[in-house]
Chains A and B, each alone.
Chain A
């Protein structure tokens, strides 16, 4: 991996951290705030692609784990990895990877629609598919209960996917970072 890729990965880990500073919206019924940090998951995949996007979120989690309060609300440290909503955290690198994979797949014809699709699948479906069963297993509640509990986040996540799609198309035009394998030298 080139130093440039490493810098891009570190940059998006930082972007996710900065998005955590934006004031979270708290919904009364669910004890998890709606934050802009999953927007960072979508952006990392959309801009950097699968491998670097996933690694950016892994790096972000490493920064959280060593005790930096970079999760929304100034949380951090190892305790967030043992909390009931930790499954959502674990899902972030995978979500970013899937967003990146789909973005690369659609790269040549990427428009708002395709970018939105990539972000909905990777940034919403994948994250829910991991976070919901995790909470259910970990806190010993049936699947339906943790399933209905997460629906409060759906409208917010939809808006985030739309924003991420707009940004993905804009950045692709202005400063494309993703290179398709065909254009890369063979030895990489």
Chain B
């Protein structure tokens, strides 16, 4: 089981824009769309985002449509609901707003590398140093998660095979207790190995209430 990020490597102008700016723009867009509930604003925003997706991120039209596909049932249902209960304008606004935000977020994802986004998360969490959190540990935790995903899947398959070999056709959830015990031990061993390599050497910052 391999994991491919949703980053789409293309030589677009948005790929060269720093991830932090794109995230700030996304946050600004969502505030704008809800603070100004006007149909022309939402329609313009959608047009701009589609343009950015095609020209700035160099996504193909098919890729743009694929981003909206997971929510199109929602959008259709929403529009139908508003046609029955309220009116077309309210429904169109809700649908446009949603489609714009979903697409804009997809554009940021497609144009930002995983490492860049992790760096933004660490930067955002930097103020937490004041309460004794090491932001650098976030990157370590993310790396561990990505490593554990195939490991957990593999262990689950192994336990199932072992149970089948003993002729035990047990329901799937009975696999969970032995699986969790096994992977918890594995995580414990991983932590010991990391500590032996100095993962815990940097002392956590002192919380502000313990500083003199």
Report which A residues bind B (CB closer than 8 A).
1-4, 6-11, 13-15, 17-18, 21, 31, 43, 47, 59-60, 62-63, 65-70, 73, 75-85, 138-142, 145, 163, 166-167, 170-171, 174-175, 177
Contacts and interface: CB of A to CB of B under 8 A. Distances in A.
A10 B77 CA distance: 37
Interface of B: 1, 3-7, 23, 26, 30, 67, 70-71, 73-74, 77-78, 81-82, 85, 90, 93-94, 98, 101-106, 108-110, 112, 114, 117-118, 121, 137-138, 140-142, 144-146, 148-149, 151-153, 156, 173, 176-177, 180-181, 183-188, 190-192, 194-195, 199-200, 204
B173 A59 contact: no
A26 B47 CA distance: 32
The 6 closest A-B pairs by CB, nearest first: A77-B109, A14-B148, A10-B144, A31-B73, A78-B105, A82-B101
Nearest to B115: A66
A65 B117 contact: yes
B90 A67 contact: no
Given A65-B117, A79-B103, A171-B177, A140 B82 contact: yes
A62 B7 contact: no
Given A14-B152, A67-B7, A9 B141 contact: yes
B105 A82 contact: yes
B14 to A, nearest CB: 14
B11 to A, nearest CB: 19
Contacts of A70: 3, 149
Nearest to B172: A22
Contacts of A8: 184, 187
Contact of A7 (B74, B121, B187): B187
Contact of A84 (B78, B141, B153): B78
Q: Is the interface of A mostly helix, strand, loop or mixed?
A: helix
Contacts of B23: 78
A140 B140 contact: no
A10 B145 contact: yes
Contact of B149 (A18, A62, A75): A18
Contacts of A17: 145, 149
Given A4-B191, A7-B188, A68-B114, 16 more contacts: A3-B199, A4-B192, A7-B191, A10-B148, A13-B141, A18-B149, A31-B77, A67-B117, A79-B106, A82-B30, A83-B70, A140-B78, A140-B90, A171-B177, A175-B180, A175-B184
A84 B191 contact: no
A85 B101 CA distance: 13
B208 to A, nearest CB: 18
Contacts of A59: 141-142, 145
A43 B71 contact: no
B181 A175 contact: yes
Nearest to B177: A170
A32 B187 CA distance: 33
Contacts of A69: 3-6
Chain A CB within 10 Å, residue with most, of B110, B121, B140, B173: B173
Given A6-B141, A7-B194, A62-B138, A31 B121 contact: no
